[in-house]
Amino acid sequence: MIKKATPYLTSLIYILIGMKTPTSFAQSLSVGTPVLEDSYRRNQLLGKLDSSISFAVRPLNNNALLKSNIYDGDSALSSNSRYIIQNDNGLHMELLPINWQHQITSGFPYGWNDGAMIPNVGYQTLLSAGIYAEYKFLSIQLRPEFVYAQNNYYLGFDGKTKPSWRVWYEYYNNIDLPEHFGQGGYTKLFPGQSSIRINYKALSAGLSTENIWWGPGIRNSLLMSNTAPGFLHATINTTRPIRTNIGSFEGQFIVGKLDSSGFPPTQFGNPAHYDEYYIPKPQTWRYISGLTIAWQPKWLPGLSLGFAQSFVVNRTDQGKEIADYLSLPFIGYRSKYNKDDPEKTGTSEQLKKRDAYISFFGRWVMPKGNTEIYMEYGRNDLPWDNRDFIVEMENTRAYTVGFRKLFPFNRSRKEYMQIGLEATQTENTRTLEGREVNTWYIHPQVRHGYTHKGQLLGAGIGPGSNVQALYVSWLKDVKQIGLQVERLVHLNDFYYTASSDIRRNWVDLGISAIGEWDYQHFIFFGKMHYAHAHNYQYELIDHPNQIIDNFWKFTPVDKNQFQLSVGAMYRF
């Protein structure tokens, strides 16, 4: 029957996607859910959410969020009135929240962790809604996503020499990151955050197109993020921490299918852009397999340790052994050294056809200090042996480090001030001068790279790039007003390969104003971002008669960028 929530239910748990009854359903809190996903994480710092949840294996699930102390009736995370279908035979059905986001971008594209949205100049919108149904062990979540982008033209890479274009294509021929997603408007309907699952206690298995996030980062994850649309995958995962005698465990294992964007790296037809360097990518889909496990030792509450690994391979290049289909812990990635015949030293031909990654991460939540610290260290090529790992830990590495602390601002009104920082680097280190290595997410044989539908699966800042961000804000429940400043360095690996001019690296300095507010069944959110790009696309104008004393007296080729993002979510 259909019935309205009673006042008794409003004191019980609210899980974003409409779950507000005391029964434990297997709904997901979708990765990238505006406002609420990070609000749950902040409440963990306040000691109001189970500290054994690592936030390193997402999407989170109702089973994980059920045990909490944040539902005091005044919180926007408490349940609101809504209509559900539920009967004594175990059938449950409900409407999922409606989420509508809008974005206007000028200058050049900016942003990541926006799922089905694309790098766009002009107007863009995303609309999602759906239903959730569960009967005994079976659950179905249908949450499609509709995207429209104006997709205006903007000036992308505009190298002035033929050699610079040759090097540029050496990178972009080996990754599917188009500057433009076709010409004119872009309209797509994706299956979005949808799944069909079999659920039993703390385990779930099924098919899904939901976005995945692995690792403790807030803005960047090295292996799995929501920068690209969700991809079709089979999954076996935990829905809450599994408690054992040595601590609690969370994890996920996936196999899936990645698709290309179908667009070239840059628009053709400009005679100065040397289209002849473009090498068409193979017309095949890619197979992906990955595994992550997070462990919280029972002797150190709040500390989570874990690893994640994945590989991508063209379906036409895939072998027939079990290791060619499954990402097994620490198997199949290490280069082999042949003591009897050093000339045969190296990675097998089958492994060379893989784009493989591994990361190790940790996060420590300290509720007494309202603080968290976290880090992730990753490599796209395992060392020869343990000695090589110790001597050159920086080889092919990428990392994310972060910190956040909440300070009581007005205890009577439950207000806090937040300060946090996060830094991510995917740029190669100096070891590339003596070793053959690939830039993160770029691969010469898996030539679409580590992408899906033309966007990255991992850190949204892009291959060979770096970002440092600092943010401060005022908080009350889910409400937030804050500022963020960041320094973003674009594809330094290309810059150091293509140019010996130390003045040309492309660096954006940006500042953002952030606002989030709830009112009854609505949650509103917005962000204004301004960035000044120094040496946009690695360009500057030299003066022919300059002398050595005037080396830094050049005409900058800088560019300004502005982005306004607003949205609203309605919860039934």
Q: What pLDDT is stored for residue 565 in this prediction?
A: 97
Q: What pLDDT is stored for residue 77 in this prediction?
A: 60
Q: What pLDDT is stored for residue 25 in this prediction?
A: 60
- Give the up-direction half-sphere exposure of residue 188: CA atoms within 13 A in the CB hemisphere: 18
**∠ CA 421-220-466 to the nearest 5 degrees?**
75
CA distances from residue 332 to 267, 396, 438 in whole angstroms, order as listed: 38, 17, 18
Query: In terms of Cα–Cα distance, which of 120, 139, 127, 105 is closest to 235?
Result: 139
Task: Compute the distance between CA of residue 231 and CA of residue 41 in angstroms, rounded to an integer.
Answer: 25
Q: Which residues pair with 293 in a beta bridge?
A: 251, 307
Rounded to 5 degrees, φ, ψ at 312 are -125, 140
Instruction: Please write down the HEC assignment for all residues of 43-112.
Output: HHHCCCECCCCCCCEECEEHHHHCCECCCCCCCCCCCCCCEEEECCCCEEEEEEEEEEEEEEEECCCCCC
Rounded to 5 degrees, φ, ψ at 490 are -95, 125
Helix (H) or strand (E) holding 549, with range, is: none
- Tokens matching residue 132: 């959730």
The helix/strand/coil state of 181 is coil
CA distances from residue 151 to 59, 181, 182 in whole angstroms, order as listed: 29, 7, 8
Q: What pLDDT is stored for residue 456 in this prediction?
A: 97
> pTM of this prediction?
0.90
Q: What pLDDT is stored for residue 502 in this prediction?
A: 87
The helix/strand/coil state of 496 is helix
Task: Compute the distance between CA of residue 253 and CA of residue 235 in angstroms, rounded to an integer.
Answer: 6
| pLDDT tens track for 115-168 | 999 999 999 999 999 999 999 899 999 999 999 999 999 999 998 889 999 999
Do the beta carbons of residue 516 and residue 477 sit within 8 Å?
Answer: no
Task: Compute the distance between CA of residue 544 and CA of residue 253 in angstroms, rounded to an integer.
Answer: 58
Contacts of 61 (CB under 8 A, 6+ apart): 26, 27, 28, 29, 204, 239, 240
For 209-279, list the strands marked E by DSSP: 213-214, 233-238, 242-244, 247-258
Q: What pLDDT is stored for residue 17 in this prediction?
A: 32
- Give the up-direction half-sphere exposure of residue 73: CA atoms within 13 A in the CB hemisphere: 4
Q: What pLDDT is stored for residue 79 in this prediction?
A: 45
Q: What pLDDT is stored for residue 89 in this prediction?
A: 78
* C-alpha dihedral (170, 173, 176, 177), degrees to nearest 10: 50
Rounded to 5 degrees, φ, ψ at 335 are -65, 150
Q: What is the pLDDT along the chain (572 residues), one digit of tens a residue?
A: 333 333 333 333 333 333 333 344 667 889 999 999 999 999 999 999 999 999 999 999 877 776 555 555 455 665 433 446 666 677 889 899 999 999 999 999 999 999 999 999 999 999 999 999 999 899 999 999 999 999 999 999 998 889 999 999 999 999 999 999 999 999 999 999 999 999 999 999 999 999 999 999 999 999 999 999 999 999 999 999 999 999 999 999 999 999 999 999 999 988 888 999 999 998 899 999 999 999 999 999 999 999 999 999 999 888 888 878 887 765 544 444 344 444 444 456 667 788 999 999 999 999 999 999 999 999 987 777 778 778 877 888 999 999 999 999 998 899 999 999 999 999 988 766 667 788 999 999 999 999 999 999 999 999 999 999 999 999 999 999 999 999 999 999 999 888 888 888 999 999 999 999 999 999 999 999 999 999 999 998 887 665 556 777 888 899 999 999 999 999 88
| Amino acid (one-letter) located at 338 | N
Burial class of residue 99, CB neighbours in 10 A (0-12, 13-18, 19+): buried
| Amino acid (one-letter) located at 324 | D
